[in-house]
Amino acid sequence: MSAPATFKLDGEDVPFEPGQTLLQAALAAGRHIPHLCYHPEFRPHGSCKLCTVKLNGHSATSCTTPARAGMEVSSETRELNDERRMLVQLLFVEGNHFCPSCEKSGNCKLQAIAYDLGMTSPRFDHFYPDRPVDASHPEILLDFNRCILCELCVRASAEVDGKDVFALAGRGMSKHLVVNSVSGLLGDSAVSASDKAMDVCPVGVILRKRVGFAVPIGERRFDDTPISTVAAEYAPRVPERTP
């Protein structure tokens, strides 16, 4: 069989399978492009915009752009990383993120990417939105303060669990996550602790009760390993090529 088609990512060849997007192919090749709303098991969403790259001089979200042979893609540039840092800063000031007291600290992708991009301050004024927590479910806590609106839980609940437990409502800065039940409370919804939606939150919104801090802060996934070096961990499984 002939050699797989490739595109250039920051000057180096990246092979891809037909149907793969730029981000999928890059991750499969062990190349990191920062991302938050992308998850290998779900259709690309393209909303966080962290994975924005320059494609033939134009901006494109690498998670949604199908790879084509010969494309010239740049990602690790100062300009793009400056933009990514600013995007992360926007997410930090939009919600209420207090890393030191967050159960997700060290396992949080938002925090990990912020460290990786060298973000030292949120820079902009905080919005301090009023987002009450939902503790109505016996096993699950929802802390909306940390929501970055990636919709992974929405997608997981709809596409894997078949339950539509989560949805989005509102517009602009009023956009928010809602729960599918008459009361609007998680305790009255069809969610269960074994749902896929429980395991996809990149930040600390969806938490299991009574298991907090099982691993001490300092010993967690991203505490000593920058997220950019564990990119392969998020890589989708690519069908093995037959020789």
Answer for which of 59, 77, 225, 229 binds another protein (CB under 8 A) is: 59
What contacts 195, CB < 8 A, 6 or more positions away? Answer: 156, 157, 160, 161, 163, 165
Q: Are 14 and 6 in contact (CB under 8 A)?
A: yes
CB 222 within 8 A of CB 107: yes
| 119, 135, 160, 167: which one binds another protein (CB under 8 A) | 167
Write out the binding residues for another protein, residues 200-239 only, by CB under 8 A. none
Distance CA 78, CA 112 (A): 19
Q: Smallest distance, Å, CB 228 to another protein?
A: 19
Rounded-to-integer distance, Cα 17 and Cα 50, Å: 23
> Does 91 engage in binding with another protein (CB under 8 A)?
yes
Per-residue string for binding with another protein, 14-33, x by CB under 8 A? Answer: --------------------
Chain-centre distance of CA 199, in angstroms?
12
The dihedral through the CA atoms of 206, 172, 81, 4 has a sign that is: positive
State the nearest-atom distance from the C-beta of 78 to another protein, in Å: 13
CA torsion, ordered 130, 133, 134, 138, to nearest 10 deg: -170
Structure tokens at 31: 């190349």
Out of 175, 212, 225, 230, point to the residue binding another protein (CB under 8 A).
175
Which phi and psi angles does 161 have, rounded to 5°?
-80, -20
182 binds another protein (CB under 8 A): yes
User: Is there binding between residue 178 and another protein (CB under 8 A)?
Assistant: yes
Q: Does 127 bind another protein (CB under 8 A)?
A: yes
Region from 122-130, 195-203, 205-213, 225-233 binding another protein, contact rule CB under 8 A? 122-130
What residues line the site for another protein (CB under 8 A)?
Answer: 44-50, 52, 59, 61, 64, 66, 83, 86-87, 90-91, 93-94, 123-125, 127, 148-149, 164-175, 178-182, 184
